[in-house]
Structure 1
Amino acid sequence: MPETMPTTETEVETEVETRSGTEAAPRRPRFALLRHHLLAPAASCFLGVLSLATVLCFHFPELLTSREFRAVYTEDFARTLLLIGLATAFFAGTIAVLRDQHKRLAFVGVGTATVAVLLGGTEVPFDGPVEDTPFSLGLDWFVLALFFSALVFIPLEHAFARRPVPVFRPGWRTDAGYFFMSHVLVQLILILVTTSTSLVVSTVKVPGVQAWIQDLPFVVAFLLAVFLADLAQAVLHRCYHRIMVLWRFHAVHHSSPELDWLAGSRVHFVETVLTRSIVLLPLLFLGFSTSVVNAYAVLVGIQAVVAHANLGIRFGFLEYLIVLPRYHHWHHARHLDYWDRNYAIHLPVIDMLMGSFKLPRDGSWPEEYGVLKRETVPVGILAQHVAPFLGQRTFDEYVR
């Protein structure tokens, strides 16, 4: 494979400086983000749009909020967060305009925040309880997940970045689209996953095993659930890499040229449904309690983001106990020796048992990320969703 290959992520203006040889990537000052010229206008735009989305959720809760997620937060919490978002959007936008920094972004932020206020803002009337509907969008889940993920990981990645990757790096629009889709369509995904698993769970029962598991202490049951779910996921993950028809879908996830907190969202809709079904199946089949399953769902959400994050922190021996960024980054390495390695998403011991564990002892990181042949995966969320159904390539055309 040639040393350098052109990227197909051409929709973004910024280019990322890649490292060569074994030289370490240059590091930015840890608190440079606070002085960045994009901080105020981007924050205004980001919070203005999210504030408007939140107000729309208050107006149309039956249509725009998910039944499962409404139980997680309170109305007062949502209104308080909305107040903070509106105030910050106006303040940051004003600062950006006064400093003549990316006025378009600032005007979008102030404009959307103004529309949110005109639609009722924090005082928008809300007559609960919300009636359950057969199907609704998870716009509330999208808003909260994006807000807190960005709030935590953008500063962390800026302070402890492994590579000097900008927030608006190549492919960020595509990954943001996947993030939006997977959260807004959360109820549709749950319906498909529940439907696909309920038939097996309802027809095949093991009451003795289920009773034993339900009698386990919560912590023990949770750890067992993590092991079994990760084992199921890792076996399926290996199938994604070895069965051509599955790889066409999974290649989308590997196509991002850079890894950060947002890159893990790049997953084909078919893979999302299939993976969640296979992972959930043993947990439901064996009778794990709802609290254990919910706790596992929280762990998956957190660890999936952490594993892809652009964090150059060394965790020492912990890298052999739980999946952390360096471990999973090698799975995404644009390197043939690692294309079939490190399938676990929680526990490296799963890969040790499967014979697929591989982690450099010298603490090194991959130099490049993405599929080995970038031209095999198109650019953009729509093209990437269509391509697996049209592809006729062989494995050699993908990876050799």
Structure 2
Amino acid sequence: MVCNLIRYLYAPFLLVGINGAGIALVGAGVSRWWLLGLLVAAIATSFAAEHHLPYRPEWNSSAGDRGRDNAHAVVNEALILGSVTAIPVLAAFVTVGDMWPHAWPFVVQVIVALVVADAGITFVHFASHRVGVLWRFHAVHHSVTRFYGFNGLMKHPLHQTIELTAGVAPLLAVGLPVDVAAVLALAVAVQLLLQHSNADYRVGPLRRVLSLNEGHRFHHLKWAGVGDVNFGLFTLVWDRMLGTYFFDPVRRFTSDDLGMADKPHYPSRYLAQLAEPFRAGGACTAATTDKKPAIGKDQAGGEAAA
């Protein structure tokens, strides 16, 4: 009973419940600090779901990486929150004109922000697998060998800053309100928890549209070359346009499938990971001996990805 509730209600609870509560509270004029409470609730729910219904039980156990992952989470979440706080100052330099649709319902404004941010962050993510200097920083995220909620915030802070800038700068240029940005920040954190979750949840046909853990595991496979798949943050719409969408319903994953084959000894300590992109010879590619499947077909039913 509990397992079925988690399997089918965990994702809706975070996507609709937590995000919806954030939209309702901020839209009603309640202090934005309540969003931190919702974030804590989302994190607690994520770990509870992973404990009771794990995709792989061993991924719930620390491999000596819990302290590092906590450090990444605290630093990168602080960067997200700090960027929201700094929006009034940033807007003075970035805003071209106040063209934001303030008169639209608050929920619609948030959806507009999500769509724009999804595009910017996805395309930077795509570029990060093809541009050497970006990959040096993004490689930190691909060094993981177990898949669980906090992996989403395991990023080099400089790379996260680049991604956030690409997602938020176009919004700031047209007058993004702080309240909308605050809810967007919550939605990003919730999405990263779900996208990298070790919970064995299901979303049915929505797995072909939303960028959640079933599809994102393929992005972390050690495929040959740097042309990975499923780059989207919130959706897989841009992957379908780029021809990088892929899903195989029968594929199961282990720790041996994750990471970077050409960097099996990538630094595992937090400070060492921060320094690695600046180290001589620190650049690496996502190369491996694992054969990459043809892109463009959903093997669940032969659906064209484009």
Give the C-alpha shift of residue 193 in structure 1. 7.8
TM-score, normalised via structure 2 length: 0.73
Q: 1:298 aligns with which of 186, 196, 201?
A: 186
Give the C-alpha shift of residue 390 in structure 1. 1.3
Partner Cα distance (1:394, 1:231) in 2: 26
Matched, 1:366 2:253: yes
Partner Cα distance (2:223, 2:140) in 1: 17
Q: 2:60 aligns with which of 167, 172, 178?
A: 167
Q: 1:356 aligns with which of 239, 244, 253?
A: 244
Q: What is the identity, as a one-letter code, of the residue corresponding to 1:373?
A: D
Give the C-alpha shift of residue 314 in structure 1. 2.6
Matched, 1:281 2:281: no
Partner Cα distance (2:59, 2:218) in 1: 21
2:6 alignment partner in structure 1: none
Partner Cα distance (1:346, 1:185) in 2: 19
Unpaired runs of at least 5, structure 1: 1-28, 31-69, 75-140
Are 2:231 and 2:239, in contact at CA under 8 Å, matched by a contact in 1?
A: yes
Matched, 1:308 2:196: yes
Give the C-alpha shift of residue 380 in structure 1. 0.4
Partner Cα distance (1:146, 1:304) in 2: 12
Unpaired runs of at least 5, structure 2: 4-30, 289-306
Partner Cα distance (1:395, 1:255) in 2: 11
CA 1:192–1:270: 2 relative to 1, 3 Å = farther
Partner Cα distance (2:79, 2:116) in 1: 26
Are 1:250 and 1:267, in contact at CA under 8 Å, matched by a contact in 2?
A: yes
Deviations 1:58-86 (A, max 9, x none): xxxxxxxxxxxx85149xxxxxxxxxxxx
2:33 alignment partner in structure 1: 72
Are 1:341 and 1:358, in contact at CA under 8 Å, matched by a contact in 2?
A: yes
Q: 1:377 aligns with which of 254, 266, 284?
A: 266
CA 1:364–1:193: 2 relative to 1, 3 Å = farther
Are 1:193 and 1:277, in contact at CA under 8 Å, matched by a contact in 2?
A: no
Deviations 1:45-102 (A, max 9, x none): xxxxxxxxxxxxxxxxxxxxxxxxx85149xxxxxxxxxxxxxxxxxxxxxxxxxxxx
Identity between Structure 1 and Structure 2 (%)? 24
Moved more, 362-371 or 324-333: 362-371
Give the C-alpha shift of residue 399 in structure 1. 1.7
1:17 alignment partner in structure 2: none
Are 2:261 and 2:287, in contact at CA under 8 Å, matched by a contact in 1?
A: yes
Partner Cα distance (2:89, 2:136) in 1: 24
Q: How does 1:132-211 map to 2 (within 5 A)?
A: 148-165=41-58, 167-170=60-63, 171-183=65-77, 199-201=93-95, 204-205=96-97, 210=99
CA 1:337–1:193: 2 relative to 1, 3 Å = farther
Partner Cα distance (2:94, 2:176) in 1: 15
Q: What is the identity, as a one-letter code, of the residue corresponding to 1:158?
A: H
Partner Cα distance (2:197, 2:107) in 1: 27
1:392 alignment partner in structure 2: 281
Q: CA RMSD in A?
A: 3.1
CA 1:146–1:352: 2 relative to 1, 3 Å = closer
Aligned to 2:149, the other structure's residue is in SS state coil
Are 1:326 and 1:365, in contact at CA under 8 Å, matched by a contact in 2?
A: no
2:141 alignment partner in structure 1: 253
TM-score, normalised via structure 1 length: 0.57
- Aligned residue pairs: how many? 258
Q: What is the identity, as a one-letter code, of the residue corresponding to 2:33?
A: V
Are 2:228 and 2:244, in contact at CA under 8 Å, matched by a contact in 1?
A: yes
CA 1:304–1:231: 2 relative to 1, 3 Å = same
1:137 alignment partner in structure 2: none
Aligned to 1:246, the other structure's residue is in SS state helix
Deviations 1:329-372 (A, max 9, x none): 11112233785211111011121122211112x35343422223
Are 2:136 and 2:284, in contact at CA under 8 Å, matched by a contact in 1?
A: no
Are 2:137 and 2:156, in contact at CA under 8 Å, matched by a contact in 1?
A: yes
Partner Cα distance (1:157, 1:320) in 2: 22
Q: 1:336 aligns with which of 198, 214, 224?
A: 224
Aligned to 1:262, the other structure's residue is in SS state helix
Are 1:336 and 1:372, in contact at CA under 8 Å, matched by a contact in 2?
A: no
Deviations 1:89-122 (A, max 9, x none): xxxxxxxxxxxxxxxxxxxxxxxxxxxxxxxxxx
Partner Cα distance (2:176, 2:40) in 1: 31
Give the C-alpha shift of residue 155 in structure 1. 2.0
Q: 1:219 aligns with which of 93, 107, 127?
A: 107
Aligned to 1:292, the other structure's residue is in SS state helix
Are 2:196 and 2:216, in contact at CA under 8 Å, matched by a contact in 1?
A: yes
CA 1:376–1:167: 2 relative to 1, 3 Å = closer
1:54 alignment partner in structure 2: none
Aligned to 1:377, the other structure's residue is in SS state coil
Aligned to 1:242, the other structure's residue is in SS state coil
Could you say which structure has the greater relative contact order, defined with CA pairs below 8 angstroms and 6 or more residues apart? Answer: 2
CA 1:266–1:344: 2 relative to 1, 3 Å = same
Moved more, 349-358 or 243-252: 349-358
CA 1:225–1:192: 2 relative to 1, 3 Å = closer
Partner Cα distance (2:183, 2:125) in 1: 22
